[in-house]
Amino acid sequence: MVEYEIVSWDQSYQMTFYLFEKMTDDNFYPDIIVGIARGGWIPARLLADFYGNRRTANIKIEFYNNTSRATDNPIITQRISEKVEDKIVLIVDDVADSGKSLMAAIEHIKEMGAKEIRTSTLYYKKHSIIKPEYYIKETKAWIVYPWEYGEFAAFQYDQLKEKMSIKEIRRKLKDIGIPPPLVDAFFSLILDKRDNKRKNNE
């Protein structure tokens, strides 16, 4: 049975602040903060705020090739958006799951000439090929962050719509811990789209 951990906005904010505390306690002050798209964007932005550091950058890493087929190894689809030569760089992601995205980011930024690179995530899973220098919590659960509630609901709907009624899927999502108002709003949109499609086909 899949174990889920639903993270709220307040928890995300608090955990990111704890990351900041860990790093400053370690006397680590990066020149540039790099968020791995898409999960690392929000923690990276929060860390930039806590550090008072305006030098943020983005790198996009995906597990799909140009035919949208899933691949075992990550592909950098957007190279780092800042010059990092001779800079101290912090790479930020939401979770170290396989660790392959973090590894790809490290290798890319090394190639760009960074002086020092460290990594941070909110969550870490033991099977990850890389252990971040900084993380808050180790877990085995499927982590669902507040910035992906809608995406998670859509995924669950697509996976379960042939096996369960909409009412059952709604109940499951609420039982997992997705906020009920969001679940209701999401399925109202689905039902509206279905009704509109039916009308257009009549």
Each residue's pLDDT tens digit, 12-30: 999 999 999 999 999 999 9
* Domain spans, the chain: 4-144, 147-201
Other C-beta atoms within 10 Å of 97: how many?
19
Section 180-185 average pLDDT: 92
What are the tens digits of pLDDT across the range 33-43?
999 988 999 99
The DSSP secondary structure of 110-168, one letter per residue, reads HHTT-SEEEEEEEEE-TT-SS--SEEEEE--SEEE-GGGHHHHHHHHHHHHTTTS-HHH
Residue written as token pair 């086909």: 201
Confidence at residue 201, expressed as pLDDT on a 0 to 100 scale: 57
- Position 32, amino acid: I
Q: Which of 176, 171, 122 is nearest to 149 (CA)?
A: 176
Assign domain 4-144 to a CATH class.
Answer: alpha beta
Distance, in Å, from the CA atom of 169 to the CA atom of 11, rounded to the nearest integer, reads 25
| Residue 62 pLDDT | 85
* Per-residue pLDDT tens over the stretch 52-98: 998 999 999 887 554 444 557 778 878 888 899 999 999 999 999 99
Q: Give 199's pLDDT tier (boundaries 50, 70, 90).
A: low
Residue given tokens 């305006």 in the structure block: 54
Pairing of strands 32-37, 70-78: unpaired
How far is it, in rounded angstroms, from Cα 95 to Cα 82? 23
Q: What is the pLDDT of residue 31?
A: 97
User: Are the CB atoms for 182 and 150 separated by under 8 Å?
Assistant: yes
CA angle, 71 then 153 then 172, to 5°: 120
